[in-house]
Amino acid sequence: MPPTDTQTINACRVCQAPTLKQFFDLGRQPLANALPQKPDEPEQTYPLSLSWCPSCSLVQLNETVSPKALFSQYVWVTGTSSTARDYAETFYQRTMAHLAKPEAKKFILEIASNDGTFLIPFRDHGHRILGVDPAKNIVEMAEKGGIPTRCAFFSELTAEEIVKTDGPADMVIARNVLPHVANTRDFIAGIGRCVGTDGVAVIEVHDASIIQNELHYDSIYHEHLCYFTVKSLERLLNDAGLSLIDLEPSPISGGSMVVYAAKGKSTETPAVQQRRDQETNQHTNEFSRWQQFAEQSFRHRDQFTQLLDQIRQDGRTVVGYGASARSSTLLNFCGIGPELLAAIADQNPWKQGRYTAGTHIPIVAPEQTLGRNPGYVVILAWNFADEIISILKTKYRYGGGVILPLPRTPRLVERI
């Protein structure tokens, strides 16, 4: 029976143009974070395919899964990653530099604030803070950690309520949430409503040009509805009365971008035009370049599965590390199950004892997996490769081989 909590779009999520061109079909896949408790547990699958908009160049999913199915309970906790915790302080310093009179105390609003990791530095420097997140379990965690958080899906209506009770914000932060939102235009309108006259919106998204150039097809899953370039993101901001004033790279998710926007027309830094020129020179927003991306992804699938199969034939045990959401796409697209990966280690206790969605590989505590003395460890959360390799070496005294499936091509390191 086809799922009832999904809807096929008939217009672009940013500019509402009615004509979209499909270029990449990854097949039917389960929700990346819907980790079954038993390997034979029934699972719902949904189409996973990408289209390109000829009008604004937005790359987007053709299907929208109900937000309640995706986000009402959530298993990703920001504070689990030391990379994220370290970046939170850097993020604080960078963003405060974009505010007028940064020495004054500000009101900081974060949308999809998760456990509040990125609000902690603002709180610790004396600023008034408020988080908004739809996941009840995560909101409870944030509140216990001293981060005031409203449990809600953010929208223009939610924005009106926040402004009424808390006033306009000096800074509105939306880190890695915009691509998750089905009603994209309403969401950005809500941000515009919350930003004060002299305030700034700080929006962090996957960088579609990096996805394209480094072949991050594993970042494509049902939670991520849009894959932004500066061109497509700027169109969305402008339609909501916001102007792009600056941008900078982020280390999160294997390469993201942080954009700064203000109300009305504002002076922009040279970095903005430099990025526009880069996208033009690299043909980032052209349909043919995305068609090439899809072809390269299928070739990568063959290379990766052949590598793992050869190791199996040689009698070596292979385990994974990091049952991330992006690894779900990789495993399902490549058809990798427990016959190729014996188990996957993950530090998140909420994931331990469960199985990967669709591929049914057991997820266990790292000490349990590494106790098997595996021949190789596939770093599935490869965007945290440096952090994970350090953990393997220092905490678990592992000195064997690792496999980095991405970026670009699979890479095998015999000893770390």
Are residues 242 and 234 in contact, defined by beta-carbon separation less than 8 angstroms? no
Are residues 363 and 346 in contact, defined by beta-carbon separation less than 8 angstroms? yes
Strand partners, 351: none
Cα(33)–Cα(358) distance, integer angstroms: 11
Instruction: Report the CATH superfamily, name and number, of domain 289-413.
Output: NAD(P)-binding Rossmann-like Domain (3.40.50.720)
Domain with CATH 3.40.50.720 in the chain: 289-413
Cα(179)–Cα(196) distance, integer angstroms: 24
Across 220-336, the runs of DSSP E, i.e. the strands, are 226-227, 242-250, 256-263, 318-321
Cα(369)–Cα(363) distance, integer angstroms: 9
Tens place of pLDDT for every residue, the chain, 416 residues? 345 588 999 999 999 999 999 999 999 999 998 999 999 999 999 999 999 999 999 999 999 998 776 655 555 555 555 667 788 899 999 999 999 887 789 999 999 999 999 999 999 999 999 999 988 888 999 999 999 999 999 999 999 999 999 999 999 999 989 998 989 999 999 999 999 999 999 999 999 999 999 999 999 999 999 999 999 999 999 999 999 999 999 877 677 899 999 997 778 999 999 999 999 999 999 999 999 999 999 999 999 999 999 999 999 999 999 999 999 999 999 999 999 999 999 998 989 999 999 999 999 999 998 877 899 999 999 998 998 999 999 999 898 999 999 999 999 998 88
**H-type alpha helices, 61-207:** 67-71, 82-96, 120-124, 136-144, 156-166, 184-194
Domain with CATH 3.40.50.150 in the chain: 78-268
* Paired tokens of 80: 């689990």
**Architecture of the structural domain at 78-268:** 3-Layer(aba) Sandwich (3.40)
Q: Are strands 344-345 and 256-263 parallel, antiparallel or unpaired?
A: unpaired
